Homo-oligomer: A and B are copies of this chain.
Amino acid sequence: MTPSSTLSLSGERFTAVYRLSGTAVEVEARAREICLEQTVEFPEALIPNEAIRAQIVGTIAEIEPSSSTGSSMGSSTHPGTDSISGASWSGNSNHDASDENPSSFEVSIRYPIEAAGRELTQLLNVLFGNVALQPGVRLQRIDLPPALLQHYTGPRFGIAGLRQQLGITDRPLLCTALKPMGLSPTELADMAYRLALGGIDLIKDDHGLSDQTFCPFDERISRCAEAVARANQQTGRTSLYLPNITAPADELNARAERARERGAGGLLLCPGLTGLDSLRRLAADDQIALPILSHPALLGGLSLGSGLGAGLGSSQGLAHGLLFGTLTRLTGADATIFPSFGGRFAFTAAECQEITTAARAPLAGLAPIWPVPAGGMRLEQVPELVTFYGRDSMLLIGGDLHASKDLSARCQAFLRLVRQASEQTSND
């Protein structure tokens, strides 16, 4: 319609690496469709001018056979550069199977940075908006240049910031949840007090505690923050109380502000329930400026295939490392909770490793953040967890701390186990 467009973009692009299955010919055709689908969403032949075709439509940078296991990462990008890249998530560049009968490929597609602009919502849209509705496409990792990264403040504290706040330099952090739902603010505060006395570093609300009539938000945070402060005075140590501020869109930041005023030492947010951009907004708010734990509720639905086995489970959605690692970190969480292997959930050890690496590996100057394995962990697993996740991890144990009547004593046992295991472990 407009032969001489005035479109004049920078030419700079960001990269999305998708995994597709099929023959080489099928995969290339599919990749071309994605280039259109995620940008112009328009039949190629009808694109109105050459400028749009050249400057807006995604371009295929690379197609290479990939192993068919869930978390294989390509070997063609370089870790530690000044851009977001998941290349360092995994060392295994085993493309051994590829020569025989390649059915799985990693396809790198490059999009103009102006298509995503300064908005996380639109970045997610270009990366995976429409293809999320199609089977057989999995977004493995992303690579964002500084021109895009400048719009993201990232984690305010991360591993180093939280260590400094707690004064703990040499071991994994201890985390637990105030629960079960149904306890009153007074009962939860009493529990928080005993947990802090027992030496738990981060005491968070269960993510099921919001603003229910039986446990109102304001009363809960006031009582729990006071209880933890009182315990800190007795112990001389620093335990933090982190209320769950997951809330309706028009109340979320106000709750965070009230939490801060009343003495919360951090915040718990479920970005799967609120939208990822609510996490970004919260983390960027200088008036709030508290460490943020991200909880994976509902978010898991976007990283399908957990536990369904390699070839099958990993054919759609967002890769575990990308979702719970890179994106959670990019949007500003200081710690990312995820269901560890060995608990009530079905993430594999490889998926957990992928998340952990994405949380901590060099990533364009963004602070490394805490991997927080959770979901039915038990004290007896502490040595294994510390060995697997290393010192720069936060162990979240909930129900199992309550297996003995003396809660504080059991917390002390938890701390002892972590210290012992930590002394025997070198960090990666």
Chain A positions within 8 Å of B, measured between CB atoms, are 1-2, 5-7, 9, 33, 37-43, 46-49, 51-52, 55-56, 114-115, 117-122, 124-126, 128-130, 132-135, 177, 179-184, 187, 190-191, 206-208, 210-214, 246-250, 270, 272-278, 280-281, 296-302, 304-308, 313, 316-318, 339, 344-347, 375, 398-400, 402-403, 407
| Chain B residues within 8 Å of A305, by CB | 135
Kindly report which residue of chain B lies nearest to residue A376, judged by CB atoms. B43
Q: Are A132 and B41 in contact (CB under 8 A)?
A: no
Instruction: Report whether over half of chain A's contact residues are helix, strand or loop; otherwise say mixed.
Output: loop
Q: A246-B121, A248-B277 are in contact. Are A41 and B302 (CB under 8 A)?
A: no
Copy total for this chain: 2
Cβ 8 A contact of A208, one of B39, B180, B210, B318 = B39
| Chain B residues within 8 Å of A301, by CB | 128, 132, 301-302, 304, 316-318
Q: Are A7 and B182 in contact (CB under 8 A)?
A: yes
Q: Are B345 and A133 in contact (CB under 8 A)?
A: yes
Q: Are A119 and B248 in contact (CB under 8 A)?
A: yes
Q: Are B210 and A122 in contact (CB under 8 A)?
A: yes
Q: Are B297 and A277 in contact (CB under 8 A)?
A: no
Q: Are A247 and B119 in contact (CB under 8 A)?
A: yes
Q: Are A296 and B133 in contact (CB under 8 A)?
A: yes
Least distance between A411 CB and chain B CB atoms (Å): 14
Closest 6 CB pairs of A and B: A275-B275, A129-B297, A40-B180, A133-B300, A52-B182, A56-B182
Q: Are B132 and A272 in contact (CB under 8 A)?
A: yes
Q: Are B129 and A5 in contact (CB under 8 A)?
A: no
Q: Are B117 and A7 in contact (CB under 8 A)?
A: no
The docked-state distance in angstroms from the alpha carbon of A66 to that of B308 is 22
The docked-state distance in angstroms from the alpha carbon of A34 to that of B287 is 38
Q: Are A345 and B246 in contact (CB under 8 A)?
A: no
The docked-state distance in angstroms from the alpha carbon of A428 to that of B324 is 44
Least distance between A249 CB and chain B CB atoms (Å): 4
The docked-state distance in angstroms from the alpha carbon of A119 to that of B215 is 14
In the complex, given contacts A41-B180, A273-B275, what are 5 additional A-B residue pairs having Cβ atoms less than 8 angstroms apart?
A5-B184, A6-B184, A41-B181, A117-B210, A133-B375
The docked-state distance in angstroms from the alpha carbon of A300 to that of B137 is 12
Q: Are A182 and B298 in contact (CB under 8 A)?
A: no
The docked-state distance in angstroms from the alpha carbon of A207 to that of B115 is 12
